[in-house]
Amino acid sequence: MENLFSPGKIGSLEVKNRIFMAPLTRSRATADGVPSEYAKQYYAQRASAGLIITEATQISAQGKGYVDTPGIYTADQVRAWAEVTAAVHQAGGKIFIQLWHVGRISHISLLPEGHQPVAPSAIRAKAQTFTAEGLVDVSEPRELRVEEIQAIVVDYKHAAQQAKVAGFDGVEIHAANGYLIDQFIRDRTNQRTDLYGGTVENRARFLLEVFDAVAKVWDPGRIGLRFAPTISFNDIEDSNPRVTFGTIFRALGKRRAAYLHVCEGALGMAESSPEDREVLEHLRGEWDGFYIANGGHHLESAQQYLHSGRAQAISFGRAFLANPDLPARLQAGAGLNDPDESTFYGGDQRGYTDYPTMR
């Protein structure tokens, strides 16, 4: 019987337990997207996770949507990430990088001068983002031309190559939470009438092209994907998530992707509805590979998911943020530090590298 503390395998990758660190944006990189000098300490402190998935990391300048998030497309960024992966490996951990393009969830002040955010369709999100000036409404996006979509696929491939140079163990394609790939997948944000819009197959095309481009660099067994089929964060929605995501999960099964990482709760902030649970149960049946469940888990719920085969691993976001030694604490049945929301995004080492381990 699988258990949170038993080792496992994702394709060729061995993981020492099923307690994974969920991706967590911390907004402590430089304005040029270079991870801060404390990032290596922060991630190495959490190397007892079976797998660390980094904070979302933009694949290009155009893919940025929040102040001080890191990138993986310039030499300086790659050098800094290489120090992070070395520190994590030295501490006995494994680490994937989450590849991100925000699409319409951005603000002109965060993009190269004069550029507007881009999206499958020119529909502005009722959403906000963090800029140097604080929280603001996202800017009006413009619709991508087909040749621009293809150029973004190339940017993903480039970022995947840079991730390899930086020494990551694999990559996670961020297809969740209302960012560019999710904007293509779901029908309220994608109103295109060309090959990238309309039918489910067309709405899945961009994601699958990204996957296939990244698979030219990484073995499919080292490419995971993150989805949030029932989450409406960033003003997103689909009229038929069962069919839309079911089709996508099956296509990724054929491609032998490393894992699916599914945000099952409303970013952990609220319980999902019975209808959402039903959709998630249905979708679970559409994928028979390694499944990582996320959202509001604690020791008991996580063990129950593992024992029943509902998931092969659980990722913890806020609990890992506040507890660098989370696996040891869960195994000892120890109490957990509470996360301090005021230091989630931006700032210095406080609330970043100074959470205490168990005594």
Instruction: Note whether 295 binds ligand FMN by CB under 6 A.
Output: yes
Closer by beta carbon to ligand FMN, 179 or else 192:
179
Angle at CA of residue 339, ends 333 and 340, nearest 5°: 155
Buried residues in 105-132 as b, exposed as e (16+ CB within 10 A): bbbbebbeeeebbbbbbebebeeebbbe
Candidate residues 294, 303, 343, 353; the one interacting with ligand FMN per rule CB under 6 A: 294
Residue nearest to ligand FMN (CB): 268
Q: What CA–CA distance (Å, rounded) separates 224 from 209?
A: 15
Instruction: Note whether 230 binds ligand FMN by CB under 6 A.
Output: no
Residues 6+ apart with CB under 8 A from 359: none
- Name the catalytic one among 179, 196, 305, 355: 179
Closer by beta carbon to ligand FMN, 144 or else 176:
176
**Least Å distance between CB 277 and ligand FMN?**
16
Mask for 76-115, x = binds ligand FMN (CB under 6 A): ----------------------x-----------------
Mask for 158-197, x = binds ligand FMN (CB under 6 A): ----------------x-xx--------------------
Instruction: Note whether 344 binds ligand FMN by CB under 6 A.
Output: yes
Instruction: Note whether 18 binds ligand FMN by CB under 6 A.
Output: no
The CA dihedral of 242, 55, 42, 299, to the nearest 10 degrees, is -10
The CA dihedral of 59, 62, 65, 71, to the nearest 10 degrees, is 30
Annotated catalytic residue 42: no
Cα 101 to Cα 25, 65, 162, 285, 304: the distances in Å are 13, 8, 15, 28, 34
Q: What CA–CA distance (Å, rounded) separates 159 from 346?
A: 24
Instruction: Note whether 25 binds ligand FMN by CB under 6 A.
Output: yes
- 134 Ramachandran zone, left/alpha/beta (phi>0; psi -120 to 50): left
Which residues form the interface with ligand FMN (CB under 6 A)? 22-25, 55-56, 98, 174, 176-177, 226, 263, 267-268, 294-297, 316-319, 344
Cite the active site residues.
179
